[in-house]
Structure formats: C-alpha cells, structure tokens
Structure 1
Amino acid sequence: MTTPVTRPRTVTARIDTAVGSAPAPAAYTATVYINTHRDKFDGYQPHHPLAAATRRDDSALSLVFHASHRINGHEAAAEAAFEVGNHQGADANGQTWPGDIRPVSTGDVIKVTSPDHWIIHLRVDPFGFTAVPEPTTLVALAGDRVTHRH
C-alpha cells in the first residue's frame, strides 16, 4: 500500500536590480609616495621622507585598476601604477600622471589596496617590488617644493 506524501511548495523569485545599477567591477587602488630624500635613487629606507602624489589642486591622486587577468594581485597593480607614473597610459578612469610630478622611480613606495581591502606597501626596486612596512615619515608636495606635514 502506498501513502500519499505532500511536498511543500517551492517558490523561486528573481529580483532584478534597477537598470544602470550594475555592481562596480572589483578594483585595485594605488597611491604613489615619492621619495624626497637626497639619496632617494639608492632605494627607500624607513627614515626617508615620502610625499603622496597629488593633483594640481592638492587632492589625492588615487589610481584605479580593474581586477582582470592582467591586474590580478598587488604587484600587478603596482606595476600598472608604475607604468602610469612613467607616462605610459592611464588608469581605469582615464587618469594620467601629472606633468608637474617627477616620474615614479627606484626608491618610491606604492600603496596598493586590493578589492578585498588588503593593503600592502611596495618599494620600487630596480627590478620589481619589495614589501615594506607602512611609511611613517610623510611630507606634503607643494608644486616643486616639499614641505613637512605637521
């Protein structure tokens, strides 16, 4: 003998988001710190003063790179920032390197924040990058002048 079994009803719903509200692509952000020490090209040392690269209006210059097969980690994002910082293209938002700031070079530091919010500071070496502690000696860029931040 068989006994009838009642199955609970399953409801499936599809929730559409509003048109034009697609999620933003995962992105890496990079901030370049220019080494202002007189021996800057010998490499970054923790006591060297660094100045965050800024736009002409002194607002923060934050480079954005969408995560992709090319930009798939902190070092790849730092490499992309290095390229932009040497006038070799633009970031994902079309932002290029300001003409009044010297190109990114050995001894500078690039702060990279990943899509999952992990932050790493990478020293620019002659070939590649090396992770370093967060810099503590920050100064402000003012045109071609550098002044200490209080």
Structure 2
Amino acid sequence: MTRPYTVSARITTTDAVGITPTTGPTTGPDLFTVTVYMNTHRDNFDGYQPGHPLAAATHPDGTPLRLVFNASTRIHDHEAAASATFTVGNHVQADDHGQTWPDDIRPVSVGDVIKITTPGHWIIHLQLDPVGFTPVPEPTDLTALAGTSATSRL
C-alpha cells in the first residue's frame, strides 16, 4: 500500500501569533498549537479520505478552538501533540493552558484530522487512525467554522 504524498509547510503569518481570551498565547517558540477538524462525512469512522468534508471545532462565538501544549519531555514532537489532543478531545484532561474539550462537541475520533503547528511554525496534518496517526495533505474541503451547537451533532 502506498501512502499519499504529504506536505509540511512553514508559514509565518500575522494571525499565527496571538493571544486568545481562553488559552493565552496561541503559538510561540515553545508551543504546539492544535486545531481539530471534525470529519462530517457519513462514513467518517472508516477514516479520513481526501474530499471528505471537515469542520473545525469552534467556541460558541465561532472562533476556532485551539489547544496549546508546551514543548517538553512529554510533548516533544507532532505525534506527542496529536496524542495529547486525543486525550483532551476525549474529556480526560485539559491542555497545558487549562482548556478542556467542550461538552457540546463530540469527542475526537477516528477519521478526524488534527492540524498541528510546531514551535518552529511547521504545520502538519494528521488523520486519526484506529491506532495512531497518519500524515495527510492539507485538507481542502473545509466547511465554514462550525459553532459548538452545530459540531455537537457531528
């Protein structure tokens, strides 16, 4: 089985660095920032396929829900950040800035895509597999940011 080509990119934008009211800094020299794209395809539990529609998990006001993890011996690479995201997204613990997964958004599950911005501003997208993660190209079928009430029905 061949894997699809993946692309990593270093993107420096003015909106990549900021402060949000609930999480503090959204990126920095020692932070992994994560956005979860919920797979909204009817067969989402069969895994993500390019072309499946995805909706970003958001706060009630429509701003993206970003999880933030400090680079450490526990979170030392993108896969460790993805694993920590799965833990937070299944209501087990909070991210490193105290943010928990909202109760009205379904848990992170197989078929979802996790976007990780590393401390060096490299961006990688990982699909959640039944066991582990697989790099995927940047998704192109993103729906409008879904508020928590819309995402809870996913």
TM-score (norm 2): 0.76
| Counterpart pick for 1:144 among 113, 134, 150 | 150
What amino acid does structure 2 have at the position aligned with 1:97? Answer: W
Structure (1 or 2) with the larger CA radius of gyration: 1
Structure 1 equivalent of residue 56 of structure 2: 52
Once the two structures are superposed, the pairs formed by residues 1-150 of structure 1 within 5 Å of their partners are 26-140=30-144, 141-142=146-147, 143-144=149-150
Q: Mark the runs of 5 or more structure 1 residues left unpaired by the alignment.
A: 1-23
Distance 1:145 1:113, change over 3 A: closer
- Paired with 1:56 and 1:45, the residues of 2 have a C-alpha distance of 28
Per-residue deviation, 1:144:
2.8
Report if aligned partners of 1:100, 1:144 keep a CA contact under 8 Å in 2. Answer: no
Greater RCO between the two (CA within 8 Å, min separation 6)?
2
**1:85-136 deviations in whole A, cap 9, x for unaligned?**
0001111111000111100000000000100011100000000000000000
What amino acid does structure 2 have at the position aligned with 1:34? Answer: M
Structure 2 equivalent of residue 10 of structure 1: none
What amino acid does structure 2 have at the position aligned with 1:113? Answer: T
- Paired with 1:145 and 1:128, the residues of 2 have a C-alpha distance of 23
Report if aligned partners of 2:35, 2:115 keep a CA contact under 8 Å in 1. Answer: yes
- Paired with 1:101 and 1:38, the residues of 2 have a C-alpha distance of 17
- Paired with 2:80 and 2:55, the residues of 1 have a C-alpha distance of 22
The alignment partner of 1:144 has SS state of: helix
TM-score (norm 1): 0.78
- Paired with 1:41 and 1:133, the residues of 2 have a C-alpha distance of 19
- Paired with 1:32 and 1:92, the residues of 2 have a C-alpha distance of 16
- Paired with 2:83 and 2:106, the residues of 1 have a C-alpha distance of 17
Per-residue deviation, 1:145:
6.2
- Paired with 1:26 and 1:126, the residues of 2 have a C-alpha distance of 29
Q: Mark the runs of 5 or more structure 2 residues left unpaired by the alignment.
A: 1-27
- Paired with 1:38 and 1:61, the residues of 2 have a C-alpha distance of 23
Identity of aligned residues (%): 66
